[in-house]
Amino acid sequence: MIVVVGLSHRSAPVEVRERLAAGPDVLPAVLARLAGRDELAEVMFLSTCNRVEVVALAYGDAGVDRAVIAIREELARQGGAASGAELAPYLYEERGDEAVRHVFRVAASLDSMVLGEPQILGQVKDAYDAAVAAGTLRGTLGRCVSRAFALAKRVRTETAIGAGSVSISSVAVELARRIFTDLDERVVLLLGAGEMAEAAARSLGKGARTLRICNRSFDRAAALARDLHAAAVPWEGLEAELAQADVVVASTASVKPVVTREMVRRVMKARRGRSLLFVDIAVPRNVEREVHAIDNVYVFDVDDLEQEVARGMKARHAQVDAAEAIVADEVAQFLLWTRGLEVQPTVVAMRTKARAVLFSELERTLAGRLRHLGEGDRAALTQMLESGVNKLLHAPTTKLKARAAEGDDAGDLAAAVRFLFDLEEAAAAQQAARGEGEKGRDDDDRLPH
């Protein structure tokens, strides 16, 4: 059974989450400790800024409780907690079908702080790759996470869950593109050097021809310019810079506007009417309200940007039902596959025993009364027995698999078959062999990502 134990932005504050985080440098050691636990058959460790989760496959349904305890102990060790009780209030757990659903929803960004954000899928893929490289992910759990990637792609292509801007920086980029369409040849001016303006400038500057920074403290502008591969300009040259810029991100700490209506009127004459966009994220505002009334000048302040963010989130939330329906469909398909695995050892053991009994009798007969038969006749008898085994066991095999697909009483029927044909030991051996064999076989099942 698959289990998930972890914490996220919904259950724990950042000071707790950061204690359990595992970067690429320590992740192999964390996976090695988890894989060393006898209670866990497979394991993956997901660590992001908003969540830390262990996704694992327990050894049989009877071992789920022990697997959960093992994971909690390792998380406490990772977080430096004196005991598991210290972390207990922040941890959640999911088991079986709900664990599968949780993994799928996380990959599809339905459980993210920002609904529909694309980064989480890349983070899950990184966790998957690390687990595969460490040899801790292979069979059933490996298949589960691979299916989560396919699900995330379906959600992205079949719904608009990722549509709409939901951050100040992404909104700034979207507004700029509405006005200029193409930012490749535009000049972005960062007015001030605040954190929010820096984030917006990073987004806007990715496709811009030039990024320039104008700040009262030239040293601060120069330091930030080195970080952003931009040019620092003196505060005294602000008006000249406005004449050259296409997009201005304003975020100074001034209590009065630093960009006035008269200043922009002069600038627009020099620009010969070329459009100018102000993204004013300062409070109090840096750009006078009247500037927006000037032809070909566009001003968006914090309230405007927040409204855009709200519209983007509303559009995404409208897609949640469609995305959840895809999750439900994918969970159902995966569970059908896992239920088929439950009866497979019994089917294999039944067919193996039938063949062993019949071919043993055939060998004894060919060594006795029919020892005079030639190779052709012996081959014909062998083929006859193979065909007989297949026809005789076709019905029970088909019905067992059908019951597994329907989720009814497949377990009871498989147990009855094992009892009637005395297959308990053989089926157990097949189950153990499957656990090891899937490591190689699952390479064929794994989806590209």
Catalytic residue numbers, as ranges: 49
Pairing status of strand 40-47 against strand 51-58: antiparallel
C-beta separation of 51 from 147 below 8 A? no
Give the residue carrying structure tokens 């029970």: 396
Strand partners, 259: 287
- Other C-beta atoms closer than 10 Å to the C-beta of 49 total 13
Residues 6+ apart with CB under 8 A from 258: 191, 238, 250, 252, 286, 287
- The CB-side HSE value for 268 (13 A sphere, CA atoms) comes to 19
Q: Which residues of 114-134 are buried (b: 16+ CB within 10 A; e: fewer)?
A: bbbbeebbebbbebbebbbeb
- Pairing label, strands 231-233, 92-95: unpaired
- How far from each other are the two terminal CA atoms of the chain, in whole angstroms? 24
φ and ψ at residue 260, rounded to 5 degrees: -105, 165
Do residues 191 and 250 make contact, with C-beta atoms less than 8 angstroms apart? yes
> How crowded is the C-beta side of 173, counted as CA atoms within 13 Å?
18
* SS3 labels along 282-304: CCCCCECHHHHHCCCEEEEEHHH
d(CA 363, CA 163): 69
Dihedral angle, C-alpha 132, 138, 140, 141, nearest 10 °: -20
> Which has the closest alpha carbon to 54: 62, 63, 69?
69
- Residue found under tokens 């709900």: 98
- Helix or strand run (H / E) with residue 229: none
Instruction: For residue 446, give the DSSP letter.
Output: P
Beta pairing class for 187-191 and 210-214: parallel
What is the strand order of the sheet 231-233 is part of? 231-233, 210-214, 187-191, 247-250, 276-280, 297-301
